[in-house]
């Protein structure tokens, strides 16, 4: 399971790294659009500057 926590700042790193999993919502914050885990998903979580991506 992939979850974006409330502390997302909308930097877009996750979208740049794993566009199949994330996109911006209408407020400019990331949302999960595909819950399938990949190496890119884990990399996006690693590079999130505020650690807003939770993978379980």
CB 19 within 8 A of CB 44: no
Domain ranges of the chain: 2-55
CATH T-level topology, domain 2-55: Alpha-Beta Plaits (3.30.70)
10-44 in b/e form (b: 16+ CB < 10 A) is: ebebbbebbeebbeeeeeebbebeeeeeeebbeeb
**What's the confidence (pLDDT) of residue 34?**
97
- Give pTM, 2 decimals: 0.93
The first and second tokens of residue 22, run together, are: 């994330």
pLDDT tens across the length of the chain (56 residues)? 999 999 999 999 999 999 999 999 999 999 999 999 999 999 999 999 999 999 99
Nearest partner of 35 among 24, 44, 22, 48, judged by Cα:
22
């Amino acid at each position: 399971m992939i979850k974006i926590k409330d502390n997302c700042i909308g930097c877009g790193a996750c979208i740049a790294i794993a566009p199949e999993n994330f996109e911006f919502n209408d407020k400019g914050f990331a949302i999960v659009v595909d819950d399938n885990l990949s190496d890119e998903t884990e990399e996006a979580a690693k590079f999130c500057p505020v650690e807003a991506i939770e993978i379980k």
